[in-house]
Amino acid sequence: MSGRIPAHGAVSVRVRGQVQGVGFRPHIWRLAQDFSVHGRVLNDPEGVLIEVAGADVEAFIAAIPREAPMLARIESVEVTPFPGDLPEGFEIAPSRGSGSETPVTPDVATCTECAGEVRGTGRRHGYAFTNCTHCGPRFTILRALPYDRARTTMAPFAMCAACAGEYRDPADRRFHAQPIACPDCGPRLWLEVEGRIIAGDPVEEAVRRLKAGEIVAMKGLGGFHLACDAANVAAVARLRARKHRPTKPFALMAREEDLESIAALTDEDRTLLRDPAAPIVLVSSHGVLPEEVAPGMNQLGVMLPYTPLHLLLLDAFGGVLVMTSGNLSGEPQAIGNDEARDKLRAFADAFLMHDREIARRLDDSVERASPPMVLRRARGRVPGTLPLPSGFEGAPQVLALGGQMKGAVCLIKEGRALLGHHLGDLDDALSADEFAKAIVDYTALFDHKPVLVAVDAHPGYRATQVGQAMGLPVEVVQHHHAHLASCLVENGWALGGGPVAGIILDGTGLGPDGTIWGGEILLGGYRGFTRCFSLRPAPLIGGERAAREPWRNALARLDQAGLASRADALFPAMPRSLARQAAARGINTPVSSSAGRLFDAVAACLGICPVEQTFEGEAAMRLEALAAKAPAGHGAYSLTLDGKEIDPAPMFSALMADFDSATDHAVMVARFHAGLADAFAAAARSLIETDAASAIALSGGCLQNALLTEMLLDRLPGIPVLVHRRTPANDGGLALGQAAIAAARLAG
Ligand code: ZN
Ligand code: ZN
Ligand code: FE
Q: What is the mean pLDDT of the chain?
A: 95
Q: How far is the CA of 159 from the centre of ligand 2 (A)?
A: 5
Q: What is the pLDDT of residue 553?
A: 98
Q: What whole-number distance in Å separates Cα of residue 514 and Cα of residue 592?
A: 10
Distance between CA 312 and CA 520 in Å, rounded? 49
Q: What is the whole-number distance in angstroms between the Cα of residue 724 and the centre of ligand 3?
A: 14
The answer for residues whose C-beta is within 8 angstroms of residue 73's C-beta and 6 or more apart is 17, 18, 19
Q: How far is the CA of 646 from the centre of ligand 1 (A)?
A: 54
Separation of CA 183 and ligand 2 centre (Å): 6
Residues with CB under 5 A from ligand 1 (ion): 111, 114, 132, 134-135
Percentages of the chain per state (helix, strand, coil), in multiples of 5: 35, 20, 45
The set of residues, in sequence order, having a beta carbon less than 8 Å from that of 18 and lying 6+ positions away, is 71, 72, 73, 105
Cα–ligand 3 centroid distance for 518 (angstroms)? 7
- The pTM of the full predicted model, rounded to 2 decimals, is 0.94
* Cα–Cα distance measured from residue 382 to residue 142, given in angstroms and rounded to the nearest whole number: 12
CA of 106 to the centre of ligand 1 (A): 14
- In the reported structure, the alpha carbon of residue 663 is separated from the centroid of ligand 1 by a whole-number distance in angstroms of 55
Expressed in angstroms and rounded, the spacing between residue 182 Cα and the centre of ligand 2 is 4
Counting ligands in written order, the one closest to the CA of 403 is 3
Is the pLDDT at 2 greater than 70, yes or no?
A: no
Instruction: Please name which of 211, 244, 388, 167 lies closest in space to residue 314, comparing C-alpha atoms.
Output: 211
Give me the mean pLDDT over the 708-736 stretch. 98
Beta strand segments in 85-146, E: 85-86, 90-92
The verdict on whether omega for the bond into residue 650 sits within 30 degrees of 0, i.e. cis, is no
pLDDT recorded at residue 436: 95
Check if the beta carbon of residue 487 is closer than 8 Å to that of residue 518: no
The CA 594 to ligand 3 mean position distance, Å, reads 10
In sequence order, the β-bridge partners of residue 218 are 225, 352
**pLDDT of 628 above 70:** yes
Backbone dihedral region for residue 415 (phi beyond 0: left; psi -120 to 50: alpha; all else: beta)? left
Q: What does the pLDDT read at residue 3?
A: 37
**636-686 per-position pLDDT tens digit:** 999 999 999 999 999 999 999 999 999 999 999 999 999 999 999 999 999
Q: Which ligand is nearest to the CA of 137?
A: 1
Q: C-alpha distances in angstroms, 206 versus 32, 257, 313, 524, 564?
A: 47, 21, 8, 56, 57
Q: Contact at 8 Å (CB) between 69 and 111?
A: no
Ligand 1 centroid, distance to 206 Cα (angstroms): 25
Residues across the chain: 748
Ligand 2 centroid from CA 165, angstroms: 9
What does the alpha-carbon distance between residue 212 and residue 235 come to, in Å, rounded to a whole number? 9
pLDDT in tens, 345-377: 999 999 999 999 999 999 999 999 999 999 999
Report pLDDT for 6: 44
Q: Counting ligands in written order, which one lies closest to the CA of residue 700?
A: 3
Across the beta sheet with 452-456, what order do the strands follow?
386-387, 416-419, 410-413, 398-400, 452-456, 474-477
What is the Å distance from ligand 3's center to 483 Cα? 7
Spatial distance between the Cα atoms of 743 and 475, rounded to a whole number of angstroms? 9
Of 172-176, 208-212, 655-659, 723-727, give the lowest mean pLDDT range: 172-176
How many angstroms does the Cα of residue 472 sit away from the middle of ligand 3? 24
> What is the whole-number distance in angstroms between the Cα of residue 575 and the centre of ligand 3?
29
pLDDT of residue 706: 97
DSSP-derived 3-state class of residue 228: strand
